[in-house]
Chains A and B, each alone.
Chain A
Amino acid sequence: GENVEQHPSTLSVQEGDSAVIKCTYSDSASNYFPWYKQELGKGPQLIIDIRSNVGEKKDQRIAVTLNKTAKHFSLHITETQPEDSAVYFCAASKEIYNQGGKLIFGQGTELSVKP
């Protein structure tokens, strides 16, 4: 079945450094790849997403890259800050027009940014 692998499971960086989280998906028909940030006791919050017709997308300190051939996508956070500390999830989906496609989530990465 559909599967999304996410690495690493934990990541600790110094404030100001960059953080990279990588995901691999199994279903080549997946066409939508969101990233979510989840803080303790809260629901996931969308931070950036990318569709399969785009190779890279950037929003301030956050960027996502997609390699469709290798079925890899990655999240890049630059100039990390303590408030970036949270659990990050990647996900893959096959979107259907006018309907939400179900998300298959990776296992999550617990990011810790040390001051």
Chain B
Amino acid sequence: GAVVSQHPSRVICKSGTSVKIECRSLDFQATTMFWYRQFPKQSLMLMATSNEGSKATYEQGVEKDKFLINHASLTLSTLTVTSAHPEDSSFYICSASRDRGLGQPQHFGDGTRLSIL
């Protein structure tokens, strides 16, 4: 079945550090990938839509300069949290679906737990 791999699974770093998270579709091509943020006991909030070969589309209220997205190939999207602060601590999850018609479900990675000290 479809697999989405996310790396790293956990990051602990100091305030002011930039952190890069990778999302890979392992056995299918994905022109579009999605990045979500989830706080404890809450739902997934879409942050941005990552488009291969073009700029990401950010949801309202998400800072483009804070959360840099690069979708350099059909199987890899990266999210960089720049100059991270404690309020950026959260669970970040990516998803991807096959580029083939309709009815292709989104498959999620296992998330990255980001803790900023």
Which residues of A from 84 to 115 have beta carbons under 8 Å from B?
89, 95, 97-100, 102-108
A79 to chain B, nearest CB (A): 24
A98 to chain B, nearest CB (A): 6
Q: CB-defined interface of A1-43 with B at 8 Å, one 1/0 digit per residue?
A: 0000000000000000000000000000000101010000111
B49 to chain A, nearest CB (A): 6
B67 interface residue (CB < 8 Å to A) = no
B32 interface residue (CB < 8 Å to A) = yes
What is the size category of the interface that chain B forms with chain A?
Answer: 20 to 34
Known: A99-B31, A99-B32, A99-B99. A105 touches B43 (CB 8 A): yes
Docked CA distance A95–B105 (Å): 10
B6 interface residue (CB < 8 Å to A) = yes
B110 interface residue (CB < 8 Å to A) = yes
Complex interface: chain B residues within 8 A of A43 (CB): 4, 6, 93, 95, 108-111
Chain B residue at minimal CB-CB distance from A9: B41
Docked CA distance A95–B100 (Å): 11
B42 interface residue (CB < 8 Å to A) = yes
Q: Do residues A44 and B96 form an inter-chain contact, with CB atoms below 8 A?
A: no
Chain B residue at minimal CB-CB distance from A103: B106
Q: Do residues B46 and A103 form an inter-chain contact, with CB atoms below 8 A?
A: yes
Complex interface: chain B residues within 8 A of A45 (CB): 108
Docked CA distance A95–B99 (Å): 12
> Which of A51, A89, A98, A99 is B43 in contact with, Cβ under 8 Å?
A89
Q: Do residues A102 and B46 form an inter-chain contact, with CB atoms below 8 A?
A: yes
| Chain B interface (Cβ < 8 Å from any Cβ of A) | 4, 6, 30-34, 42-46, 49, 93, 95-97, 99-111, 113
| Chain A interface (Cβ < 8 Å from any Cβ of B) | 32, 34, 36, 41-46, 49, 51, 89, 95, 97-100, 102-108
